[in-house]
């Protein structure tokens, strides 16, 4: 995964850890950890994937799967160490270009199984490898169906800009976010590990709205100019729902997974 250029990146700030309690059920809610922690390699600039997965693992640890982390009540430092571990060569192997989907899923699967739990992973989108469920593009409706079945999910976006003089969009970066809940078939609440405002350190559950992509050619890797794909069947993020986003954002992939006890 290649992240967006520094010209459109926001300033790094310290991480946010917020295992807050719901007023309704008093259960710990999904953490919202910022990847831009000063103690992460490269101040976390490439660590969106390990961070968003760690949110879900910490949530699971406090909601029925207590062996997911060593600490009885995980705190910020515990999650920080988990993110470092997930990004290491032994798990997701996060590199200078980020983390591709197969490595995210392989690292996730390895970690969960080492904790003696079962995990079922499904994936739709580009670069699924052995985890690819089928050749259908990822859709918000499929996401909601899986969430309604008790799964958790991570979304992968591609940032695209028009390629000068050509009728196609050029991929200039990518990003992962944690799904918190689905509002309906085309709206979803997420936690974004990259801060939208460097001065605002409060938990922020953002509402993303999706619209069908207009059919256009996509150049996903400038080094492979012959590998052009179509956006037909894919979905874009409606930028009106998140004004701080600037590029065309295409939903490139959805990772869904369900953890169960190993009885």
Is the per-residue pLDDT at 20 higher than 50? Answer: no
Q: Which of 118, 159, 175 is nearest to 249 (CA)?
A: 159
DSSP three-state, residue 103: helix
Q: Which of 93, 154, 102 is nearest to 127 (CA)?
A: 102
> What average pLDDT does range 21-26 have in this prediction?
44
Strand pairing partners for 256? 122, 153
Sorted by where each begins, the domain ranges of the chain are 6-261
* Euclidean distance between CA atoms 143 and 190, whole angstroms: 13
Positions of E strands within 132-237: 152-162, 168-184, 187-191, 206-212, 217-219, 228-230, 235-237
> What average pLDDT does range 209-235 have in this prediction?
87
* Euclidean distance between CA atoms 174 and 85, whole angstroms: 22
Q: Which of 161, 128, 167, 158 is nearest to 256 (CA)?
A: 128
Q: Which of 157, 207, 197 is nearest to 34 (CA)?
A: 197
Average pLDDT value for the chain:
87
pLDDT of residue 241: 82
pLDDT of residue 2: 36
Q: Which of 227, 217, 233, 214 is nearest to 136 (CA)?
A: 233
**pLDDT tens digit string along 41-100?**
998 899 999 999 999 999 999 999 999 999 888 999 999 999 999 999 999 999 888 999
Cβ count near 186 (within 10 Å) = 18
């Amino acid at each position: 995964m290649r992240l967006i250029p520094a010209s459109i990146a926001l300033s790094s700030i310290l991480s946010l850890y917020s295992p807050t309690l719901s007023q309704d059920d008093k259960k710990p809610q999904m953490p919202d950890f910022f990847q831009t922690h000063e103690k992460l390699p490269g101040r976390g600039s490439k660590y969106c994937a390990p961070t968003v997965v760690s949110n879900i693992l910490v949530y699971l640890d406090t909601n029925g799967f207590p062996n997911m982390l060593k600490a009885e009540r995980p705190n910020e430092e515990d999650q920080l160490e988990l993110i470092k571990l997930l990004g290491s060569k032994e798990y997701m192997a996060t590199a200078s270009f980020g983390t591709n989907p197969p490595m995210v899923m392989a690292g996730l699967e390895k970690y969960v199984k080492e904790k003696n739990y079962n995990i079922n992973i499904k994936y739709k989108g580009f670069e699924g490898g052995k985890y690819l469920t089928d050749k259908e593009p990822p859709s918000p409706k499929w996401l909601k169906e899986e969430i309604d079945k008790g799964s958790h999910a991570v979304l992968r976006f591609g940032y695209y800009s028009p390629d000068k003089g050509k009728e196609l969009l050029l991929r200039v970066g990518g990003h992962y976010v944690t799904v918190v809940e689905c509002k309906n078939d085309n709206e979803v609440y997420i936690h974004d590990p990259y801060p939208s405002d460097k001065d605002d350190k409060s938990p922020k559950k953002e509402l993303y709205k999706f619209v069908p992509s207009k059919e256009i050619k996509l150049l996903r890797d400038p080094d492979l100019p012959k590998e052009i794909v179509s956006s037909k069947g894919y979905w874009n993020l409606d930028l009106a729902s998140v004004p701080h986003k600037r590029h065309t954002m295409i939903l490139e992939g959805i990772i869904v997974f369900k953890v169960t006890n190993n009885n």
